[in-house]
Amino acid sequence: MKVLIVEDDPLHRAYLGDSVRAALPECSAVIEATDGAEGERLAREHGVAHVVMDLQMARRNGIEGARTIWRERPDTRILFWSNYSDEAYVRGVSRIVPPGAAYGYVLKSASDERLKLALRSIFIENQCVIDNEVRGTEQRSFARTGGISEVEYEILIDIALGLTDRTIARRRGLSLRSVQNRLQQIYDKLEVHQGAGQGPDAAFNLRARAVSVAIRRKLVNHGALERAEADLGDWLAAAAAGPRR
């Protein structure tokens, strides 16, 4: 068994290497990468099926790296090891996990024993391991009542990218009325209101206010917007090319 560690902090890489060797005597080699791009390359070169991945890295983050690795090899088992349990990260991970994949999400504040148990559970026993704090964020995020649904989240990201209602409708395969109804649901759930006055005297632009509140509540972050911008570029290119014959 080979294990790939993708972590930009050298002290954390060393700690993870020691933890992997202690938890997994079956491990024949520990390979190290300093960001998602290098992780993608090394996973491809070495045929690695077991990865420990940091989420927040400077050049290419862990979600982008994991998405590429899983696209090329869906049976890869990945343990995300992060300081963050914000909703933006939890949603980002949940959106890229292939069906049936064994993966984990463990916080860096977890104990040594917790980390080692997660490594064995995911890499040897093919089980999913999610920290309680992360699971709580996930449950609140996807709660049917009061939470932002997946379709609403996509529309929230679209308005953060500056798309009009009509463009969102085309991109998401929705009617214009459906987009507008979901926008109102987003405003209600984020408790975004027009404020004093109506029309030109209104206190807020609701779209901009919704994005501001979402960022402040850590529902949207820089990484999520970077990924969305790249996906938007792909969609625009495909739309410009037109349907294939």
CATH assignment at residue 38:
3.40.50.2300
Bridge pairing between strands 2-6 and 29-33: parallel
Q: Looking at 110, 141, 172, which one is the last position of a domain?
A: 141
> How much is the pLDDT for 226?
84
Total domains present in the chain: 2
Mark whether 85 and 163 lie in a shared domain: no
Mark whether 108 and 195 lie in a shared domain: no
Q: Looking at 81, 113, 141, which one is the last position of a domain?
A: 141
Q: Where are the alpha helices (DSSP H) in the chain?
A: 10-23, 36-46, 62-72, 87-94, 112-123, 132-141, 150-160, 165-172, 176-189, 206-216, 222-241
Contact yes or no for 3/31 (Cβ under 8 A): yes
Mark whether 108 and 224 lie in a shared domain: no
Mark whether 112 and 17 lie in a shared domain: yes
Mark whether 135 and 195 lie in a shared domain: no
Mark whether 33 and 74 lie in a shared domain: yes
Q: Looking at 113, 141, 169, which one is the last position of a domain?
A: 141
Boundaries of domain holding 202: 150-241
pLDDT (tens digit, 9 = 90+) per residue, 65-93? 999 999 999 999 999 999 988 888 888 89
Q: In what order do the strands lie in the sheet with 103-107?
A: 29-33, 2-6, 50-53, 77-82, 103-107, 129-130
* pTM reported for the whole predicted model: 0.74
pLDDT (tens digit, 9 = 90+) per residue, 125-160? 999 999 988 887 766 665 544 578 888 989 999 999
Provide the b/e sequence for 92-101 (b: ≥16 CB within 10 Å): bbeebbeeeb
